[in-house]
Structure 1
Amino acid sequence: MYLHANNKKIFAYTGARPHHEGLESVVFVHGTGMDHTVWLLPARYFSHHQFNVMATDLPGHGRSEGPAATSIESMSDEVVAAMDAAEIE
């Protein structure tokens, strides 16, 4: 699915399942130069075992728009913005 966060279109993989209110969430964050595909198998496992899952492509990676973050702080800001857009606490 695509989210809009920090004026960018951000891709988020959900383990092939929609989010369900009341379930705990697992957020997967890839490293620099990677994308959500490094988390496909774990994300799918958790989504099929009663968890909401979100594995985003950080800006500048995979299917997401925008320039890549230049610091750990800006990467974490992007993750929090994506979580807010997906309404994950």
Structure 2
Amino acid sequence: MGCAVRGSIAVITEERAPWDGVGQWTSRRVARLRRTDEGWQVDGADRNGRWYPCDHLPAVPSLDEALTVLDDPRHAFWG
């Protein structure tokens, strides 16, 4: 896992070593956590790395709760 923070946005990524041990690691966007007036909103990434809002997930008051949403298998962030 990786994380990049810029302002009020945190981007969570999945980092993978090359399967044969040769070459560069790869990185795939998993989720974006945005601070809004309502709390922390979770966005997902499609297969092209573009963001889409997860409107079915309510904003949560803390960053810890937003990270917990990512671990819930019903939301399938980890494909």
TM-score class, shorter:
0.3 to 0.5
User: Higher strand share goes to which structure?
Assistant: 2
Larger Rg: 2
Compute the TM-score of the two structures, normalised by the length of structure 2: 0.36
User: Higher helix share goes to which structure?
Assistant: 1
Relative contact order higher in (CA < 8 Å, ≥ 6 apart): 1
